[in-house]
Structure 1
Amino acid sequence: MILIVSCLKKPKAKEAKQHNILFIAIDDLRPDLGIYNNTVVKSPNLDAIGNEGVVFNNHFVTAPTCGASRAGLLTGLLPRDSIDITNEVFSEKIAKQKDSPKTESFVHFLRQKGYYTVGVGKISHSPDGLIYGYGDEIGTEWELPKSWDEMLLDLGNWGTGWNSFFAYSGGKNRTDENKNLKPYEKANVSDEGYPDGLILKTALKKLNELSEKKEPFFLGVGFFKPHLPFNSPKKYWDLYDRNQIKTSPNPEIPKNVNLKSLHSSHELNQYKKGEEKASLQKPLSEHYSKKLIHAYYASISYIDNQVGKLMTELEQLGLSDNTIIILWGDHGWHLGDHRIWGKHTLFERSLKSTFIIKAPQIKKGSKVNEIVSSIDLYPTLMELCGFSKPNRLDGQSLVPLLKFQSPDWSNVAYSYYNRGISVRNERFRLTKYFRENEEEPNIELYDHINDPNETTNIAKQEPMIVQKLLKLIDQGDFGIYKNKN
């Protein structure tokens, strides 16, 4: 087993033990779980966390791409620069501030307060926390150089973190195969026949070690699936009857939109042996759509089983009652919605993701319908742990919602991508694009009471609502699109 380890000088631990924190990040996990009323997907262990905690029904990320979304969550900040909405935000910005006195993430903050911090798998953007390209040798610089006591990844037979991330069974990977692969695989292997099983194995070992420590711990476990390729052991595919799987309820391009708001599904289409190519010209066939959704659901079930084993170990070690558990998907995913297969849009499907918190003394089995953002986690953890939050954070603590104290909640979430800013409130999503030459339409408005699938842009029909929400857009506009017209 190859483990990548960062050993940094440790601040003195606090005498009084705080709550431990288990943070579980699941890549590309939209709210397609039983706890979110999906009656087909098999996710009993993830659902169990929701039944023991608080489920957020309307959680939105700051950007529909992995690195930028994770940066928003970890820093508690909305984007101020164009680099902040790219996957390079860690390598090109945060890592280069390692000599700055500023706290780089909430993990770093907890470490400063005496927590022992361990990351296993993908927590920032890179699968192993190191900076290097997909086909390069393993890097030597850390994306979060001040945050971790240990950063771990079992590379198995795949050799590098990125090869592991795009792994196929038997040690194959997307890069070495030059993408001459299908976007899914069901191999007759054990859970450890793919990297997520190895991530679980490492997390279990580390959890046992952390249980013996005197100081509180933060353990981040970042699973790769259901990110493409949709690969998982065959036994998880066998859980499903494909005839019961439903295709997208909104497979058509929304009315009254500029096609630049959409994309041609390159993330899926780059797999050269896919049976069909997605496009905006027509939906994929029902047969192939169901096969891909089947693969996505099997990947969820694979991760669900890993999380179940992690929860069992936490319970057996006697840590459950003093551990805050965060379950988070880094963004959503279009499964044929709007003829798109992927993320990278400012539509609801790309921005809405799984978010569940289970914490000591918090009411169990509840659901929150207020609009919340990933940037709210940082101040929430500070309050749950009894720390004063840094003044610079953009997010607001979710603790009042967790305790159902009926606060004066803002109900606003901002997202940024594709030269656009989108704001979501209780009823509407308004998106403004800063396109060259102001190509029309550059304003989109969707009514989530009457049109939850965002099938029709009603901006021209509702000018008063647009003007009201544009004022909110202005509040979230930090000038990241420098060459606005």
Structure 2
Amino acid sequence: MKRPNILFIMADQMAAPILPLHDAASPIKLPNLMRLASEGVVFDSAYCNSPLCAPSRFTLVSGQLPSKIGAYDNAADFPGDVPTYAHYLRRLGYRTALSGKMHFCGPDQLHGYEERLTSDIYPADYGWAVNWDEPEQRLSWYHNMSSVLQAGPSVRTNQLDFDEEVVFKAQQYLYDHVRMSGDQPFCLTVSMTHPHDPYTIPEEFWNLYEGVDIPLPSQTIDQAEQDPHSQRLLKVIDLWDKPLPEHKIKDARRAYYGACSYIDSNIGKLLKTLKDCNLAEDTIIVFSGDHGDMLGERGLWYKMHWFEMAARVPLLVHAPKRFAAHRVSQSVSTMDLLPTLVELAGGTLEANLPLDGRSLLAHLDGSGGHDEVIGEYMAEGTTSPLMMIRRGAYKFIYSEQDPLLLFDLSQDPQERENLAASPDHQALLGSLIDEAKARWDIPAIHQATLDSQRRRRFVADALTHGKLKSWDHQPLVDASQQYMRNHIDLDDLERRARYPQV
């Protein structure tokens, strides 16, 4: 029996709570995603395992927690001996390809993918390493508020250049596959960079929200009342003592909505290509994000915290011939995707290899499944690990430096009431503290993070001296095999290039 094709589509920094997938009142227009959702399995409580690009993605592709694989920040080295879903699927006979972003840092830029169709939008070196030795220093590459202050429509951006190439190359891959490798299953990962800031998008998508009431953040919290990590983040993003104009907040949110619609438009292109190539019936579609965006909620922007807007991601699986359409309420995470993809492909997991993720197959077929997310964050804004446990109605944020945070999301979805001091919740709090202490050796993780930062800063500085040898992925194109060439019979070339063949 032929294994199913897998098309795994990723968006960057797409906040699940405000999408129409999860909020019926959302003004965001996502017709293609909503159609997939109506026919697929939608996870209403899906999370990243680290609310930052590289750590989240390393965890997603490997199924292992950040502290296990050294995924500390956006310049962390991702070791080449860490198994990924691409390694697993290659062993099952799949063609594995990545078009777009995965933010791999270090000299291995493939990590199991046979092909990368584009370069990455972000650097592969150690230049963005965090520095806990100087926690008050605001590094030059940190986010600032220019994305909000300059929000609005634009004709072209760096990110549009990237995503246009990502989708074009992905479509071309599907055309080439059906013309040349139709009998072999593929796993194609298409990873776009929108709706990640900067908050700007062409007028076509900006104008989708003309006359639409763009809501301001539903809650703002004075900086003096914020938890210590949020206060540090306000300084990281250069927002401390710098209130934003209300109209620019609305512009940023409107552009973000437009960028979500742009992602949906690109999904529509991919779906049409599947249909045109007669691949739609045999292809499982998975859609996810890497983390969310605070978008001004609580006075915060971007990600880097465990609040819902930053940590919750969209996640759906579209395989209507295999799973009936339904919604899953249990909390799961993108770390669970590796075992899920392997089982969807008909493979088995290696018992002697480390794995923290758990298969979502029971959720997909409606037979149960786990209800737990474990998260770790050791990057910008921290000076000590900031951990998270999400189970049942509760979210627990654990630090051995900052005050504990405990929220009952069933009663307090906006996370306004910290229950850590509530007399009625001391037994629960105590059990969660005991679990956290048993799960994490915080001093050891702290030291490992610090050691990694120091090594990477040293190496990054050393590599600025002398001749530069880039680690950035260089997609190779053999022009001798493209289009019309004299060593290829013209009639044969035209016959093979046409689909469907006559």
Q: Same fold (TM over 0.5)?
A: yes
The Cα of 1:475 is off from its aligned counterpart by: 5.0
Q: Match of 1:431?
A: 397
Out of 74, 77, 81, the position equivalent to 1:87 is: 74
Q: 1:285 to 1:21 in 2, by over 3 A?
A: same
Deviations 1:386-435 (A, max 9, x none): 11112321111111111111x2x431101111321111112111111122
Q: Is the 8 A contact 2:152 2:252 kept in 1?
A: no
**Residues 1:119 and 2:94 are matched in the alignment:** no
Q: Match of 2:321?
A: 361
Q: Match of 1:481?
A: 445
Distance 1:221 1:475 in 2: 38
Tell me whether 411-420 or 473-482 shows the greater mean CA deviation. Answer: 473-482
Secondary structure of the structure 2 residue equivalent to 1:34: coil
Q: Match of 1:274?
A: none
**Residues 1:221 and 2:190 are matched in the alignment:** yes
The residue type paired with residue 114 of structure 1 is G
Q: Match of 1:170?
A: none
Distance 1:308 1:191 in 2: 22
Unaligned ranges ≥5, structure 1: 1-15, 98-102, 132-140, 155-159, 164-173, 270-277, 436-440
Q: Match of 1:404?
A: 366
TM-align CA RMSD: 2.9
Q: Match of 2:5?
A: 20
Between Structure 1 and Structure 2, the one with more helix by share is 2
Q: Is the 8 A contact 1:119 1:220 kept in 2?
A: yes
Q: Is the 8 A contact 2:199 2:253 kept in 1?
A: no
**Residues 1:197 and 2:164 are matched in the alignment:** yes
Tell me whether 68-77 or 448-457 shows the greater mean CA deviation. Answer: 448-457
Q: Match of 2:268?
A: 308
Q: Percent identity?
A: 28
Secondary structure of the structure 1 residue equivalent to 2:49: coil
* Structure exhibiting the larger radius of gyration computed from Cα positions: 2
Secondary structure of the structure 2 residue equivalent to 1:238: helix
Q: Match of 1:138?
A: none
Q: Match of 2:356?
A: 394
Q: How is 1:197-346 mapped onto 2 (pairs within 5 angstroms)?
A: 197-212=164-179, 213=181, 214-241=183-210, 244-252=213-221, 258-265=227-234, 278-279=239-240, 281=241, 284-346=244-306
Secondary structure of the structure 2 residue equivalent to 1:421: strand
The residue type paired with residue 121 of structure 1 is G
Q: 1:192 to 1:446 in 2, by over 3 A?
A: closer
Tell me whether 422-431 or 461-470 shows the greater mean CA deviation. Answer: 461-470
The Cα of 1:194 is off from its aligned counterpart by: 3.3
**Residues 1:468 and 2:454 are matched in the alignment:** no
The Cα of 1:362 is off from its aligned counterpart by: 3.4
Tell me whether 354-363 or 39-48 shows the greater mean CA deviation. Answer: 354-363
The residue type paired with residue 94 of structure 2 is Y
Deviations 1:80-110 (A, max 9, x none): 3583232233xx2423x4xxxxx52111111
Q: How is 1:21-100 mapped onto 2 (pairs within 5 angstroms)?
A: 21-31=6-16, 32-37=18-23, 38-81=25-68, 83-89=70-76, 92-95=77-80, 97=81
Deviations 1:267-326 (A, max 9, x none): 765xxxxxxxx33x5763432211110011111111110111111111221111211111
Q: Match of 1:445?
A: 406
The Cα of 1:75 is off from its aligned counterpart by: 0.6
Q: Match of 1:11?
A: none
Deviations 1:436-459 (A, max 9, x none): xxxxx5211111122110112120
Q: Is the 8 A contact 1:63 1:85 kept in 2?
A: no
TM superposition score normalised by structure 2: 0.76
The Cα of 1:354 is off from its aligned counterpart by: 0.8
Q: Is the 8 A contact 1:230 1:296 kept in 2?
A: yes
Out of 328, 343, 351, the position equivalent to 1:383 is: 343
Unaligned ranges ≥5, structure 2: 124-139, 449-502
Q: Match of 2:475?
A: none
Deviations 1:87-137 (A, max 9, x none): 233xx2423x4xxxxx52111111122111111111x215xxx75xxxxxx
Deviations 1:60-97 (A, max 9, x none): 111000000011111111233583232233xx2423x4
Deviations 1:134-181 (A, max 9, x none): xxxxxxx33334x12210127xxxxx8449xxxxxxxxxx99xx9988
Tell me whether 77-86 or 62-71 shows the greater mean CA deviation. Answer: 77-86
Deviations 1:230-279 (A, max 9, x none): 2321110000036511122222159976323444457765xxxxxxxx33
The Cα of 1:204 is off from its aligned counterpart by: 0.8
Distance 1:446 1:193 in 2: 38
Distance 2:271 2:44 in 1: 22
The residue type paired with residue 35 of structure 1 is L
Distance 2:438 2:357 in 1: 14
**Residues 1:420 and 2:398 are matched in the alignment:** no
The residue type paired with residue 409 of structure 2 is H
TM superposition score normalised by structure 1: 0.78
Aligned residue pairs: how many? 414
Q: Match of 1:9?
A: none
Secondary structure of the structure 2 residue equivalent to 1:224: strand
